[in-house]
Amino acid sequence: MAELIRLAAANEAEPQRLPRNIEAEAAFLGAILIDNRVIEDVSIKLQPDHFFEPLHGRIYEQILRLIDRNMLVTPVTLKPFFEADESMRELGGPGYLIKLTADGAGLIGARDFAQQIYDLALLRELVTVGRTLVDNALDTSESVDPKGQIEAAESALYKVAEGEGETGSMKSFLAASTEAIRNVEKALQSGGSLSGVTTGLDSINAKCGGLHNSDLVILAGRPGMGKTSLATNIAFNAARRWIREREDGIEESKGAGAKVAFFSLEMSADQLATRILAEQSGISSELLRMGKISREDFRELSRASRELQELP
């Protein structure tokens, strides 16, 4: 498309060509305009600023707004929002929206196009981090702080690895409210009690709706009261639920299970494993450590071990 060539040329003034695929952006937008359901198949959190071409980012942002209002998104419904857009005028006006739908090939690979747009955006962020790192490293003034630069670089790389570092950053109310509505819908579908990751304990789920992203949950109690036992049970239940949902074909975003990482400052990995094996086999952990179990107990222990080995 001549319009795409013009869009690309407008950004060629950069000293170094940044990773991008404007054709993939156009094909993805065209696919959404042909069939709005395409956006439901995109599993990644694609944002407007992931698009290299600013015009495409604005089109995608407006698409999200209309879909959030349960409106049909077509070149016709988008037209009023771009009649005064200067970049759109350079391409012949809102008729560019119709040209995006001219090639329906994007419908076939929409998910792949979305993934590529996202991946290229991360690469551009990585280029920015690299340039900043080099510029700072070349600074030999008296105020230079090499360790501070390393920490800043690690932080910047971590944000790139997190996919633009959403944690702690500003969000529009549209993004925040959309996520909130998803949580409410998830709780509704589960029967009105579970909107997060399950603890496996109905009474706790009923109190807090499960465990949610960004939550800090503190489980306090005196020594020997069962804090670690409860925590390992929750970890086991969440991981087992994740496995069952994958077997049932439930999408990860709609499930109540989760992969789990367990960190302990007082117990080794094998000690934790022994405790979980004891809980799931119904055999005292003290008897396991001392080896005072029957052959029947050992068979039950082997069964529990095989099940645990498959959990994430």
CATH code of the domain covering residue 292: 3.40.50.300
- The yes-or-no verdict on residue 105 having pLDDT over 50 is yes
Task: Evaluate whether residue 17 is within a structural domain.
Answer: yes
- The yes-or-no verdict on residue 141 having pLDDT over 80 is no
Q: Write out the two tokens for 44.
A: 């990644």
Query: Does residue 157 share a domain with residue 224?
Result: no
CB 22 within 8 A of CB 120: no
Query: Does residue 160 share a domain with residue 203?
Result: no
Q: What's the pLDDT at 165?
A: 47
For residues 36-62, average pLDDT: 90
Q: In 3-state terms, the chain is what percent helix, strand and coil (to 5)?
A: 60, 0, 35
Task: Evaluate whether residue 203 is within a structural domain.
Answer: yes
Query: Does residue 220 share a domain with residue 118?
Result: no
CB 279 within 8 A of CB 293: no
- The yes-or-no verdict on residue 5 having pLDDT over 60 is no
Q: What's the pLDDT at 26?
A: 93
Q: What's the pLDDT at 1?
A: 55
Q: What's the pLDDT at 161?
A: 75
With pLDDT > 90 as the criterion, what percentage of the chain qualifies?
29
Query: Does residue 81 share a domain with residue 134?
Result: yes
**pLDDT tens-digit map of 212-249:** 887 888 999 998 898 988 998 999 999 999 999 888 88
Task: Evaluate whether residue 269 is within a structural domain.
Answer: yes
Query: Does residue 156 share a domain with residue 24?
Result: yes
| Total domain count, the chain | 2
Task: Evaluate whether residue 122 is within a structural domain.
Answer: yes
The one-character DSSP state at 246 is: H
Strand partners, 197: 211
- The yes-or-no verdict on residue 266 having pLDDT over 70 is yes
Q: Write out the two tokens for 50.
A: 């992931």
For residues 77-89, average pLDDT: 92
**pLDDT tens-digit map of 146-196:** 888 888 888 888 878 776 544 455 666 776 777 777 777 766 666 656 778
Cα separation, 173 vs 104, in Å, equals: 33
For residues 100-117, average pLDDT: 85
Residue 111, class by beta-carbon neighbours within 10 Å (0-12 exposed, 13-18 middle, 19+ buried)? middle
45 or 230: whose pLDDT is higher? Answer: 230
Give the residue from 150, 169, 188 where a domain finishes.
Answer: 169
Query: Does residue 15 share a domain with residue 155?
Result: yes
Q: What's the pLDDT at 278?
A: 85
Domain containing 255 equals 197-309
Number of C-beta neighbours around residue 302 at 10 A: 12
The SS3 assignment for 239 reads helix
Q: Classify the C-alpha dihedral 116-165-255-275 as positive or negative.
A: positive
Task: Evaluate whether residue 241 is within a structural domain.
Answer: yes
CB 63 within 8 A of CB 114: no
Query: Does residue 149 share a domain with residue 47?
Result: yes
